[in-house]
Amino acid sequence: MFKEISAKEIDGNLIKAIADEWMLISAGNEQGYNMMTASWGFAGEVWGNDSVMALIRPQRYTMDYVNQNEYFTLSFYGDRKDIHSVCGSKSGRDVDKTALTGLTPVFSDNTVYFDEARLVIICKKQYVDIMKKECFIDKTPLDCYKENDFHYMIIGKIEKVLVAA
């Protein structure tokens, strides 16, 4: 069961939650969906909206669902690293991550999230672009891209925030 709050009411430090707790990025609907673990992302205000930026490598199956859908979610699970060990190491192309994690999908607000989350951020896509090698001023981060598989940057307007009640 969830309670809706505003984005500005999110309790705690989102930078810490993303970096240390990690999150699932999910997209899709009852006909098909996928989720992946992420530990990179941003939250703030852009274009007058509370917004997030998710980062997804092009080969990730979840990116297919983000491309096909108008909405995506970021969800947080506290110290449930067991969820992230599955969703960060296995592809939904090959396995049923929902069955392996025991997560319960919730199909609502034009997207998917999971009943076990402590925090869910529902986002409407506003901007998608892929990072470009020539745009890196500081070349140090290029060490993360040995295969030139630069992340997509997906900016989403926060439409709804849900916290476990």
The model's pTM:
0.96
Alpha-carbon gap, residue 111 to 5, rounded angstroms: 18
Give the residue carrying structure tokens 């592809």. Answer: 91
Q: Tell me: domain 2-164, CATH 2.30.110.10, correct?
A: yes
Q: Read off φ and ψ for residue 164, nearest 5 degrees.
A: -60, 130
Where do the structural domains in the chain lie, given as residue ranges?
2-164
- Model pLDDT for residues 4-27, shown as the tens digit of each residue: 999 999 999 999 999 999 999 999
SS3 82: helix
**pLDDT for 142:** 97
- Model pLDDT for residues 104-122, shown as the tens digit of each residue: 999 999 999 999 999 999 9
